[in-house]
Structures are given as C-alpha cells and as structure tokens.
C-alpha cells in the first residue's frame, strides 16, 4: 500500500472520528463525500458537523467550551481536509 493511500485513509479516519459519521453513509454517495460535507462547514460552521458527544464537557462554561472546542476542531479538520502526498 502506498504512502498516498495511507494519507488518504488517515484523513478519512480523522473525519469519521470527529464527525461520528462513516464515509459510507447513504448521505455520502455519488459526487458528495464526507470530506466535502466537512469542507462546506469549514471553518465557520464546523460545530454543525462535529459529533455532539465530543462537545459535552461539564467543568467549563458553554462559552469557554465552545471557543476552545471550535479552535481545536478547526485545526483537526484542516489537517484532515488538506493533508496531501
């Protein structure tokens, strides 16, 4: 398996982990992919595509949690969408 295939698999794995969606979901068929779905939300509406279970943490205020999570998720999705080789 080539390095290119490994990089592609890593990107898809990141997207699946952080969105809670499979790249094989019925929603992603034909010309519309999981990567495109995330890219359309990136970076302004990234919280809409992130698995809601990842956004729940009780020891911070909602504003702090939202800001920190948004910053982290933007960085993660940027890596997932733009890693190439």
The pTM assigned to this predicted structure is 0.67
Q: Check residues 31 and 66 and name the one with the higher pLDDT.
A: 31
Kindly indicate the confidence band of residue 85, based on its pLDDT and cuts at 50, 70 and 90.
very low
Mean pLDDT of the chain: 82
User: Is it the case that residue 72 has pLDDT exceeding 60?
Assistant: yes
Q: How confident is the model at residue 57 (pLDDT cuts 50, 70, 90)?
A: low
**What is residue 31's predicted lDDT score, i.e. its pLDDT?**
87
- Cβ neighbors of 67 (< 8 A, separation 6 or more) are none
Cβ-in-10-Å burial (0-12, 13-18, 19+) of 38 comes to buried
Query: First and final CA of the chain: distance in angstroms?
Result: 14
Token pair of 22, please?
């499979």
Task: Convert the pLDDT of each residue in 2-12 to its tens digit.
Answer: 888 888 888 88
């Amino acid at each position: 398996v080539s390095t290119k295939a490994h990089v592609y698999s890593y990107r898809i794995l990141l997207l699946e982990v952080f969105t809670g969606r499979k790249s094989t979901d019925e929603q992603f068929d034909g010309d519309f992919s999981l990567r495109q779905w995330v890219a359309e939300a990136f970076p302004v509406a990234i919280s809409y595509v992130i698995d809601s279970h990842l956004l729940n943490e009780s020891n911070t205020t909602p504003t702090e949690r939202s800001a920190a999570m948004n910053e982290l998720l933007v960085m993660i999705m940027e890596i997932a969408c733009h890693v190439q080789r």
